[in-house]
Structure 1
């Protein structure tokens, strides 16, 4: 669990912040209220961020922040002051952001900011710019304001295309004028034509005074646009707005494609993403296997222990399936007690091995325990197909083999 150090002498605000961050964002918050307590800390290494009230009763306002920055700790300042002088002073000291206390009744801004920082931590940034000095400036910018984000550099469209294929990049910073008469517009169009819109956030930059450039970038698919003589605080706001939209979209998409009970994908995702993935593997001449798994005697579990235990069995099985798969495979709750696994670049024999050696082994080793201490064991049957070229046919053939498995021995992989 990520840890935050909160340095705040107002106990009401501190309690409010601590409760919100620990309940809504799953942070572990350590609260101290003075510089004296700070000096007693054995180390700062365990803390990912520091939330700092700059006005403490036993400390000069600059002393503590200077110590934190000297220790390379990302700092978010908490203050009741709305003075532009204060803002300018601490911006120069390389703090990540400011939280104004009067805006902290619901702490929405702080929650959003930390959510954005976590998203940036989990994903990567590509800077497409042919100026080494400006690349260096942007690297320094991200090191200050998004300190846990990995940044990649490219100075040609060809290099940028390779980068987005190789890495977990989600944010693109794209300059207009590039080498060899290339423009960032070409790269933006390439990205929007070949990838889902939600796959990348794009912020375009230019030193040009041509107002038409802005319109062309936005029409080509850039999320936002900025002149190169920007203030850092403005650039942070633009990036945050783009990332916030991506986070919100991903949350909505998760609700649309996930089964609420098990956390597995749903049928919509299977036929949407599965069809695209199957076509991609076919072009690469790589095998795809579909497995259908059905819990044996599930009605009996519901009748004996109740539907709440039945739901727990479904959640338990769904978790085992998700934890047993390779990167790139996915599991779907197909309906009731039936699940589908999509195995990419995987033969029927390889899929069978995964099911027997990982999934069935784990199911046999584990069980559900009821409130009165009874152990509930369960099992499953499975059918696998890897010979058809259409997704619906793969599912149909796998379902036929599942029926055969149920008829013959009940608990087997055909």
Structure 2
């Protein structure tokens, strides 16, 4: 039985589209399914509908020329391997790889063998680069995305907002009364709490949501397609339900501790509450601290018994 491989081809020359498909036809091992488009907007819509295995893009199309085409595609291409097609200029191809493509092919030298080999190598290279990239963009304690990854994701989703008006929300999360936990039980217990929260955030999120550790006991979420306050409040309520509660951890002496945790959460929506990514982060952060102050006031007037050993 043949394996299946989906390719999206960005090409505005109908003759080149025909030749491309002919080179991949009648393969004995793989069934190549190719969908073509002649515009960046068309490619973006295809990716939004179904994520392909490979992108093959001509650098020179009617609306974009040269490496700018690759830069635009990478803004919405997620983690899809990219092969660029260029004329007779190896230097442009090498620069394309430096800018994030996995391989390049000179149109004058393409044949069935070189094309199929490039497709296979592009997939393998992306897997390798992704594995190496995880080391630089992951928080070592929680294995969530780190601040550098957050900045990169925010830039990408802001580009989508400006080009396609795809709204998004940023949520800032902070653990209430985290310092007393560290002071009472030590940083080992505090680290375990951070790991547990990171695990819950990873488990209970949609595939397109970004989850990261902002620093210390602060976490951050980027959630696409939140376009009104009602959706935002439902999202925040859902995160409270998932994260608030008792966390069982073992102390350095071997005691099983049952620690109640609550999370302060604040959010904002791009284009509604804020008109730049920087302003959006500030608003989400401000709303988080308002929520933290409200929690402190409730705790002061209520039960002050924060910690207990597990029965």
Normalising by structure 2, report the TM-score: 0.69
The alignment partner of 1:186 has SS state of coil
Alignment of 1:172-191 (within 5 A): 172=55, 184=58, 186=60, 189=66, 191=69
Structure 1 alignment gaps of length 5 or more = 1-71, 75-120, 144-150, 175-183, 206-211
CA distance in 2, matches of 1:173, 1:288: 29
The alignment partner of 1:321 has SS state of helix
Q: Which has the larger radius of gyration?
A: 1
Give yes or no for the alignment of 1:136 onto 2:136: no
- Change in Cα spacing, 1:278 to 1:411, as seen in structure 2 (3 Å) is farther
Give yes or no for the alignment of 1:256 onto 2:130: no
In the alignment, which residue of structure 2 is the partner of 1:320?
A: 200
CA distance in 2, matches of 1:294, 1:374: 21
Q: 1:315 Cα shift? A: 1.3
In the alignment, which residue of structure 2 is the partner of 1:407?
A: 293
Q: 1:295 Cα shift? A: 0.4
CA distance in 1, matches of 2:56, 2:235: 41
Alignment of 1:336-375 (within 5 A): 336-346=216-226, 347-356=228-237, 358-364=238-244, 367-370=247-250, 371-375=254-258
CA distance in 1, matches of 2:118, 2:56: 11
Q: Is the 8 A contact 2:182 2:189 kept in 1?
A: yes
Deviation digits for residues 167-208 of structure 1 (CA, Å, limit 9, x no counterpart): 32242457xxxxxxxxx5536957514123974331769xxx
- Change in Cα spacing, 1:134 to 1:155, as seen in structure 2 (3 Å) is farther
Q: Is the 8 A contact 2:193 2:249 kept in 1?
A: no
Q: Is the 8 A contact 2:172 2:265 kept in 1?
A: yes
The alignment partner of 1:137 has SS state of coil
Q: Is the 8 A contact 1:257 1:268 kept in 2?
A: yes
Task: Please identify runs of 4+ aligned residues in structure 1 that moved more than 6 A.
Answer: none
- Change in Cα spacing, 1:124 to 1:257, as seen in structure 2 (3 Å) is farther
In the alignment, which residue of structure 2 is the partner of 1:194?
A: 72
The alignment partner of 2:222 has SS state of strand
Deviation digits for residues 12-41 of structure 1 (CA, Å, limit 9, x no counterpart): xxxxxxxxxxxxxxxxxxxxxxxxxxxxxx
Alignment of 1:203-214 (within 5 A): 213=88
Give yes or no for the alignment of 1:383 onto 2:258: no
Q: 1:224 Cα shift? A: 4.0
Q: 1:389 Cα shift? A: 0.9
Q: Is the 8 A contact 1:170 1:201 kept in 2?
A: no
Normalising by structure 1, report the TM-score: 0.54
CA distance in 2, matches of 1:281, 1:321: 25
The Cα RMSD (Å) is: 3.7
- Change in Cα spacing, 1:394 to 1:73, as seen in structure 2 (3 Å) is closer
Give yes or no for the alignment of 1:245 onto 2:125: yes
CA distance in 1, matches of 2:37, 2:268: 44
Structure 2 alignment gaps of length 5 or more = 12-16, 299-311
What is the number of equivalent residue pairs in this alignment? 267
- Change in Cα spacing, 1:137 to 1:185, as seen in structure 2 (3 Å) is farther
The alignment partner of 1:250 has SS state of helix
Which is bigger in relative contact order (C-alpha 8 A, separation at least 6)? 2
In the alignment, which residue of structure 1 is the partner of 2:303?
A: none
